[in-house]
A = this chain, B = another copy of it.
């Protein structure tokens, strides 16, 4: 327990909850990290697809970015409305469940859960990938670094929402300041140079045939890839319970800051890419440089500022998984409270966070990282579908919400959310089509499996609750139980167990398993006399000695068999099996004793029935 205190901090009382809430300043890094970080890979993902078009492709970055920013704006207004309507946490799951039915809610939930999971694996490995391409000496340690970052993120999140916010605050703001600096400086230079600034460090010139014309399919695929820039925007509305009062106000302000920054980033990147005529480089080739690195070098040269910016991007990407660590446990908790996920997801741990959710996410992401050796490029196509599916269902749910609640401005609200649903819905279809073969089919396969699992969990809980329900407490007149005391030889533990059994009931059987050939085994032939005498002296009913042979030298299974038979012979009462157990002081002492009582208890519990009760009488060797 002391190690736990050191690692994740002292337990927090339930009433310390409000001190753990976050405001705007801490909310932006906590819930916006993922969204802001996506500025570092969204535009680049789009432009990578335009590489075949070379310089001709540059012309298309502006329209694609504009469409994405428009989509972002629609999503922003939609989510503001969701926050107002669901001040206690309006994740896509809640909104869709309440307005479109449970099935749609679970669809949104499954999509989001997969997305969060991918977010951790892909986020960490992208950051570490950038790091090892900058410092190739670290290449062999890719997986190790990934897992170390995962461990740090897990521990910080187990310490609580506030503490993980503090961890990511500095890198997030450093990233924002650097990027705003690059974009502002670059835009000013471009304006002064009449739109055609001279780069300080020219971007690498990529040779190759330029495509004559850029096809519509290529543009659609570039757009679909660019849409990854929008992932993470839903985090604020999911995490409502973590915001300081007034919740809706704090959350909306946080969302505004995040979306505004993201829009500025996307616009600025698109502008400077065109102004400097930057073409993306093929990842995995030696001349590869990230888009942001090329822009920064073009604007500011490769000085101290360049390296600070690049470093802040690396750190931010590695930490962008933090958003998933905040969102996933909260999402699982809401689903668990509705009975569609195991209940342990709904238990708040010692630091008031939903520890089990954090641990499950950590373990699953660790498995993904290990399975892919820390290089998760192939998982990127799976990304973003979940997020957009959740967006769509959430917006569609909001449309139904306004329709139901009615009110003065409900038509306007319906319009906004409807537009959002339409836009994001179309995006889902586009992304799915564009990336189906590359891997999006895995999402299409996994989501229904997850949903089926969640329905299964709910069915099980409903059935268990029905079987376990007690409408009105009812007690019966008790019957005299039969007590069976398994004894291999007489010592203080077995005497104590017999004493207890004699105090509980008048019908006690001392059960002895005979393996006469074996070393150290007693025979029970003279026990009855001793028992009669001891019971008479105490004024008790004498116990009966029962001996069962065991030709195969098994000890526990004959006892279990005897108890099951005795239960069948008993008419109505319980069969109490009184198990003597020696408890040693130190762990190594357990190596020196047999563990028959532990095995016996476990077997009786598993093979028994509800008329068989196990009583454990301990004897302490101290």
Taking Cβ atoms with an 8 Å cutoff, the residues of A that contact B are 11-15, 17, 337, 342-344, 346-350, 457, 460-461, 464, 467-470, 472-479, 481, 490-496, 498-500, 502-504, 515, 517-520, 530-531, 533-535, 537-540, 551-554, 574, 576, 581-583, 589, 591-594, 601, 605-606, 608-610, 612-621
Min CB distance A495 to B, Å, is: 5
B472→A592 contact, CB < 8 A: no
Q: Chain B residues with Cβ under 8 A from A583's Cβ?
A: 605-606
A475 B499 Cβ-Cβ under 8 A: yes
- In angstroms, Cα B601 to Cα A605, docked, is 13
In the docked arrangement, what's the CA distance between A588 and B12, Å?
31
Which of B15, B553, B616 is A551 in contact with, Cβ under 8 Å?
B15
Q: How many whole Å from A467's CB to the nearest CB in chain B?
A: 6
User: With the chains together, A539 CA to B609 CA distance in Å?
Assistant: 27
A100 to chain B, nearest CB (A): 24
Q: How far is the CA of A553 from the CA of B495 in the complex (A)?
A: 39
Residue of B11, B534, B552, B582 touching A468 (CB-CB under 8 A): B582
Chain B positions within 8 Å of A491 at CB level: 468-470
The answer on a CB contact under 8 Å between A502 and B475 is yes
How distant is the Cα of A481 from the Cα of B490 in the complex, in angstroms?
24
Question: Do A481 and B503 touch (CB < 8 A)?
Answer: yes
Q: Is the Cβ of B343 less than 8 Å from the Cβ of A520? A: yes
Q: Which residues of B are found within 8 Å of A470, using beta-carbon distances?
A: 490-492, 494-495
Minimum-distance CB pairs A-B, first 7: A478-B503, A468-B491, A13-B551, A475-B538, A11-B552, A473-B534, A614-B616
Q: Which residues of B contact A476 (CB under 8 A)?
A: 499, 538
Residue of B nearest to A457 (CB): B592
A342 near B592 (CB under 8 angstroms)?
Answer: yes
A606 to B467, CA, bound (A): 33
Residues of B within 8 A of A552 (CB): 11-14, 350
Is the CB–CB distance between A553 and B14 below 8 Å? yes
Q: Return the chain B residue nearest A17 by Cβ.
A: B517
Residues of B within 8 A of A493 (CB): 468
Question: Min CB distance, A361 to chain B, in Å?
Answer: 16
Q: How far is the CB of A570 from chain B (nearest CB, A)?
A: 14
* Nearest chain B CB to A120 CB, angstrom units: 21
Task: List the B residue with the shortest CB-CB distance to A348.
Answer: B553
Instruction: For the complex, give the distance between the alpha carbons of A521 and B614 in Å.
Output: 27
Give bound CA distance, A348 to B481, whole Å. Answer: 36
Which residue of chain B has its CB nearest to the CB of A15?
Answer: B551
Residue of B nearest to A476 (CB): B538
- For A490, the closest partner residue in chain B by CB is B470
With A530-B472, A574-B500 as given contacts, are A614 and B615 in contact (CB-CB < 8 Å)?
Answer: yes
**B-side contacts of A612, CB under 8 Å:** 618
- Taking CB atoms, residues of chain B closer than 8 Å to A472 are 530, 534
